[in-house]
Amino acid sequence: MTSHVLDLAGAGIGPFNLSLAAQLDSVPQLSVRFFERRPSFAWHPGMMLPGAEMQTSILKDLVTATNPTSRWSFLSYLVAHKRFYQFLNAEYEAVPRKEFADYLGWVARGLTSLRFGSQLREIHANDGVFSVTTDDGAIEARSLSVGVGKIPARPAWAEQLAKSITFHSSEAAQRLSGIKAARIAVIGGGQSGAEIVDALLDQNGVSTIHWVSRRPNFEPLDATPFTNELFTPSYMERFHGLPEELRLTHTRRQVLASDGVSASTLKKLYRRLYERRLEMLNTPDQGISLRPFRNVIAAVQDGPEVTLTMRNGFDDSIETLAVDLIVLATGYRFVLPDFLHSLENRIELSSIGEPVLNSDFSLAWDGPGENRIFVLNAGRHSHGIAEPQLSLAAWRSAVIANALLGHEHFNVGQLDPIVQWETQAHPSGLSTHMGQAAE
């Protein structure tokens, strides 16, 4: 055990804790260390499919929103790699995910507070410190930052299916190469489902792709200006102050603002299907069937074949479909990591069983106030649909840094939103709920 008590220990190094580490790199008075179980940085490697693009601006990087002079910005990365001018000349509307992942990896290699190949295993709260067990050994820390991401969401009907004939989208890059199945069903009408269908269209040996979505159609991501107001700190502050019932209702309504399919992906797919029709004019079976508005309710495996039963919401009927392989592009869900189980009974849960998060992203628990447990990527229902996205990651990291320091080191104050959300507008032009503007 190190004799030194850290100010913060972080579990997981995905983009969210990486952003926190990058922001804290400019705060030398805090001693911090982050642990990642992977041997080196990787950003959703199973979804690094050819042609995948970012859904957010490069200005929504790890630091810029609250720390524009940080050396860990995307622009710094471009300059360091001598690609600044060529990047501009490429005129990307959406940057390749591969390049953004490379940027994240560059930051991860540059920060000295990160430890890779070291899983965080156990945590115990004792006398004002957390005792933390990692593969690297034991340490002590006054606060924790849990950035372990989400786990694949697999529908109950898929649980009994053999692993050889079903996999989650998070494994797509590995499982799609050398695929043998003739008839494939992709379940899920979000961005992952769309990217996998696009990749399958390039695959030899696949006779039919069925794209099944529960949503009424293949619905676009709404990235228009007033919807983008939901991805601002000012909106997040107001959202967090609402009663739980309203937050849950609003989140359900806003799903396409965060989880629709990018317009560019939809257009690309539509054109590919159109061109396929041109090429196969006299062929009745064109190898793809698009089935939105279908809720898969059962799957029965018989040897190498699976029969899916679906409720079709368009004509309210039951449909069946026989396939050889099922790709579950059915999203992700947050679960409390195992290492927090020792504190389980001390953590306040919401009506839907999620940890209650304070405005500074620390969870509500019965321990001492100075021992905070910040949880990232668990706040969709407490802070809004922007919380699981990159959009406000740099700002959130600054809010957490301020909370650790106990003063406004980073200026996190913002102008009031353009839209007046609440009946009673805030009197000043600055948001004040989560963080005040630094003097």
Ligand X SMILES: NC(=O)c1ccc[n+]([C@@H]2O[C@H](COP(=O)([O-])OP(=O)(O)OC[C@H]3O[C@@H](n4cnc5c(N)ncnc54)[C@H](OP(=O)(O)O)[C@@H]3O)[C@@H](O)[C@H]2O)c1
Ligand Y SMILES: Cc1cc2nc3c(=O)[nH]c(=O)nc-3n(C[C@H](O)[C@H](O)[C@H](O)COP(=O)(O)OP(=O)(O)OC[C@H]3O[C@@H](n4cnc5c(N)ncnc54)[C@H](O)[C@@H]3O)c2cc1C
Instruction: Please pick, from the candidates 6, 8, 9, 12, the single residue that binds ligand Y as defined by CB under 6 A.
Output: 12
Using CB under 6 A as the binding rule, whether residue 97 contacts ligand X is answered as yes
296 binds, among ligand Y, ligand X, none (CB under 5 to 8 A by kind): ligand X
- Based on the shown chain and the rule CB under 6 A, indicate whether residue 15 belongs to the binding site for ligand X: no
Least Å distance between CB 342 and ligand X? 30
Residue 192, Cβ neighbours under 10 Å: how many?
27
Interface with ligand Y includes 47 (CB under 6 A)? yes
Using rule CB under 6 A, residue 149 touches ligand X: no
Q: Give the helix/strand (H/E) hosting 296.
A: strand 294-302
Report d(CA 96, CA 312) in Å as an integer: 35
For the CB of residue 85, give the shortest distance to ligand Y in the complex, in Å: 24
Give whole-number Cα distances, 186 to 216, 245, 269, 423, in Å.
16, 33, 14, 44
Whole-number minimum distance, CB 19 to ligand X, in Å?
17
CA neighbours closer than 13 Å in the CB half-sphere of residue 279: 8
Find the binder of ligand X among 23, 73, 145, 169 (CB under 6 A): 169
Nearer to ligand X, 47 or 375 (CB): 47
Segment interacting with ligand X (CB under 6 A) among 129-137, 184-192, 315-323, 391-399:
184-192
Q: Concatenated DSSP letters for 307-339?
A: EEEEEETTTTEEEEEEESEEEE---EE----GG
Interface residue with ligand X among 73, 208, 258, 377 (CB under 6 A) is 258
Residues that contact ligand X, how many (by CB under 6 A):
28
- 220 strand-pairing partners: 261
Contact range with ligand X by CB under 6 A, out of 175-183, 326-334, 338-346, 370-378: 326-334
Q: Which of 66, 330, 382, 431 binds ligand X (CB under 6 A)?
A: 330
C-beta closer to ligand Y: residue 60 or 210: 60
CB closer to ligand X, 14 vs 190: 190
What b-and-e string marks burial along 109-141, b requiring 16 or more CB atoms within 10 Å of the CB?
Answer: eebebbbbebbbbebebeeebbbbbbebeebbb
What span, in angstroms and rounded, lies between the C-alpha atoms of 91 and 257?
A: 24
Is the CA virtual torsion 370, 374, 379, 384 positive or negative? positive
Q: How far is the CB of 135 from ligand X (least distance, A)?
A: 28
Query: Would you give the binding string for ligand Y spanning residues 337-376, x where CB under 6 A is met?
Result: x-x------------------------------------x
How wide is the angle at C-alpha 55 spanned by C-alphas 204 and 381, nearest 5°? 115
Answer with the entry of ligand X, ligand Y, none that 16 interacts with (C-beta below 5 to 8 A by kind). Answer: ligand Y
Is the Cβ–Cβ distance between 54 and 414 less than 8 Å?
no
> Which position among 26, 31, 57, 119 is part of the footprint of ligand Y (CB under 6 A)?
119
Q: Using CB under 6 A, which of 54, 139, 185, 394 touches ligand X? A: 54
Q: Tell whether residue 254 is a contact of ligand X (CB under 6 A).
A: no
Work out what residue 398 binds among ligand X, ligand Y, none; the CB cut-off runs from 5 to 8 Å by kind: none
Pairing of strands 294-302, 288-291: unpaired
Angle (nearest 5°) at CA 399 between 398 and 402: 85
- Token pair listed for 231: 């991805």
Residue 216 three-state SS = coil
Q: Which residues bind ligand X (CB under 6 A)?
A: 47, 52-55, 97, 155, 169, 187-193, 195, 212-215, 258-259, 295-296, 329-332
